[in-house]
Chains A and B, each alone.
Chain A
């Protein structure tokens, strides 16, 4: 019954490394999103995509990029990881037709630590 899968639950990376966070959904949703969660700041939108090959910047895109080559997969890339990117990263998908309401389905999250 798993619908949104994030490839890693926990990651530890070194400063300066290029980091890939993968997200796959099996619900045939068009819309996909990447958020990060930090205490006291809630969920902040990094990037989103409404279609294959399409991407839009969210509220905090600096230091990140994304890739959407296939409908079911949305990857978040940290070009050169820094300690201030230590966070919980959450991927979500949403049906464009909003047939399931406005709600997102979230993955379990990836806790990334940059040392």
Chain B
């Protein structure tokens, strides 16, 4: 039972354009969502997060949107840069249900072409 799904295994965009990475979830108890970025041979690093009481959070070039009715979140990167090329993982957590443990999606590999 995949509670967090990233249905696009890969995405390719041109430098300077917008990258949109999508994530769907099934558990309505999730109250916090995060995005992690991972380069090859390195551990994932935290990128941005959003609480379920919000619908948008912005940090520089990165914006996360949450649509609770659709159980969908997305990460927008504007403008995309070659250094953004990495695997992006969506994660969700339900504090009172799962004690803060994160459930991860399958990941989307983003490639930004110069």
Residues of A within 8 A of B (CB): 4, 9, 31, 33, 35, 37, 40-45, 48, 50, 90, 92, 94, 96, 98, 101-109, 111
Q: Which of A43, A98, A111 contacts B95 (CB 8 A)?
A: A98
B6 interface residue per 8 A CB criterion: yes
Q: How far is the CA of A109 from the CA of B36 in the complex (A)?
A: 15
Find out whether the CB atom of B100 lies under 8 angstroms from the CB atom of A108.
no
Q: Which 9 A-B pairs have the closest CB atoms?
A: A106-B43, A42-B106, A43-B104, A103-B46, A102-B32, A102-B93, A108-B43, A106-B44, A42-B107
A37 to chain B, nearest CB (A): 8
Flag if B43 contacts A42 (CB, 8 Å): no
Q: Is the interface of A mostly helix, strand, loop or mixed?
A: strand
Which residues 82-112 of B have a CB within 8 angstroms of A? Answer: 89, 93, 95, 99-107
Say yes or no for B80: interface residue by CB 8 A criterion: no
